[in-house]
Amino acid sequence: MSRIVLGVSGGVAAYKAALALRLFTEAGHDVRVLPTSAALKFVGAATFEALSGNPVTADVWDDVPEVAHVRIGREAELVVVAPATADLLARAAAGRADDLLTATLLTATCPVVFVPAMHTEMWLHPATQENVATLRRRGAVVLPPAVGRLTGPDTGPGRLPEPADIAALALVVLGHGAAALAPDLAGRRVVISAGGTREPLDPVRYLGNRSSGRQGWALARVAAARGADVVLVAANVEEPAPFGVRVVPVGTAEELRAAMLAEVADADVVVMTAAVADFRPASVARVKLKKDSPGEPSAVPLVRNPDVLAELVTKRATGQVVVGFAAETGDDDGDVLSHARAKLARKGCDLLVVNDVSAGQVFGAADNAVVVLGADGSVTEVPRGTKDAVAAGIWTAVAPRLA
């Protein structure tokens, strides 16, 4: 169990902080909520106290004998401020200490994550951007805001990411430090495929695979948090889109191929996480195939699908980094890594992320562990962790190749 401080500043998105709080506590962490006085106008202290099991106050004059404005920051292992309004970012950048939250920010020596939420004009204002740059220069993580509906009818950057995204990214920082979400992909365009293709046999049935798309989702979420412009080509994945990510839904291998080729021309990084079917039925029945009927097939002829990764490698732009994925099992001809090295040489990509899927590992699981093989002979082991933590490790291996 880790000690997390959840700061909440005074924006209408404060209600989402209660949902993030629940996710932190369900993950087994001890959470102390520090709202500003303005935040308490949106969500009452009783809500945060009930969900956290800890007292809630905004005032440095409460609990004076315990010197709370110093003790809370010293004991914290992670501070997350969500939402972080323009006013809160300005006060934090200036080093103000005029309430319990800002005082705690000055005494905390642990990683600090700010999750901005405000109207678009406020986010884009040079003052806010300078404050964000200042906080990042000091080592804090400042996530980019989501794009979407704001208070009222307006839409744009400034929306608070969804609580699931906030919690997932914050816990990556808790486990791996602020460097896990370094803004080293800022200004880069990233195209990722995720999920598993489905090849129709008739209007009801299809050939598919067990890929859940969760690792691709995590890669997209972490890339966006690290500043990238992300396009996610999603094959049969029904998860909510990660914040800051444009999703292109596809079904079959041919649809995925067309979508990837349409998106990658100006991409800095292309990541083929999707499990693309190697084969598809040679023909698709117009009506449902039924047993004990004249149309019952005695066999299903298959034809090869295009090798999307190999095609992306041959058509890549100058300087583009192409990352492949390999779900491998060992057999009599070799172990997982020997098969993966052969695939890396065959495909010609820059990096190959290797999953050991023996005995049904990885597919649909919450955790993962991978090995990243480089065409230059490098080997990077990413230890077991959440798929977001693994995604952070993969991007740390990719980022230096963009220099």
Peptide bond into 83 cis (omega under 30): yes
**Could you tell me whether strands 78-84 and 3-8 are parallel, antiparallel, or unpaired per DSSP bridges?**
parallel
Name the β-bridge partners of 275.
Answer: 196
**CB proximity list for 326: less than 8 A, separation 6 or greater:** 339, 340, 343, 344, 352, 353, 354, 355
Closest by CA to 81, choosing from 180, 144, 6, is 6
Q: Which pair of structure tokens corresponds to residue 160?
A: 């608070």
Residue 377: CA count within 13 A, CB half-sphere: 0
Domain 3-181 -> CATH class: alpha beta
Chain segment 317-375, per-residue pLDDT in tens:
999 999 999 888 878 777 888 989 999 999 999 999 998 877 655 555 778 899 999 99
pLDDT score for 360: 58
Cβ-contact 7, 101 below 8 angstroms: yes
Q: Distance between CA atoms of 159 and 153, rounded to whole angstroms? A: 13
Residue 246: CA count within 13 A, CB half-sphere: 9
Mean pLDDT estimate for the chain: 92
pLDDT score for 295: 74
Cβ-contact 192, 213 below 8 angstroms: no
Q: Which fold has domain 189-402?
A: Rossmann fold (3.40.50)
Percent of the chain with pLDDT over 70: 96
Residues acting as catalytic residues: 209
Can 3-181 and 189-402 be said to share one CATH topology? yes
Chain segment 100-149, per-residue pLDDT in tens:
999 999 999 999 999 999 999 999 999 999 999 999 999 999 999 988 87
User: What DSSP letter does each residue of 86-152 carry, written as one string?
Assistant: HHHHHHHHHT--SSHHHHHHHH--S-EEEEE---HHHHHSHHHHHHHHHHHHTT-EEPPPEEEE-SS
Please give the average per-residue pLDDT across 147-176, as a whole number: 90
Q: Please report, for residues 161, 258, 307, the alpha-carbon distance to residue 164 in angstroms, rounded to integers and kept in the order given.
A: 8, 31, 34
Please give the average per-residue pLDDT across 66-92, as a whole number: 90
Cβ-contact 306, 257 below 8 angstroms: yes
Domain ranges of the chain: 3-181, 189-402
The DSSP secondary-structure symbol of 359 reads G
* φ and ψ of 249, to 5 deg: -75, 140
Q: In 184-294, at which residue ranges do the beta strands (DSSP E only) sit?
A: 189-195, 199-200, 206-207, 229-235, 245-250, 269-272, 279-281
Chain segment 191-205, per-residue pLDDT in tens:
999 999 999 999 999
pLDDT score for 56: 93
Cβ-contact 316, 322 below 8 angstroms: yes
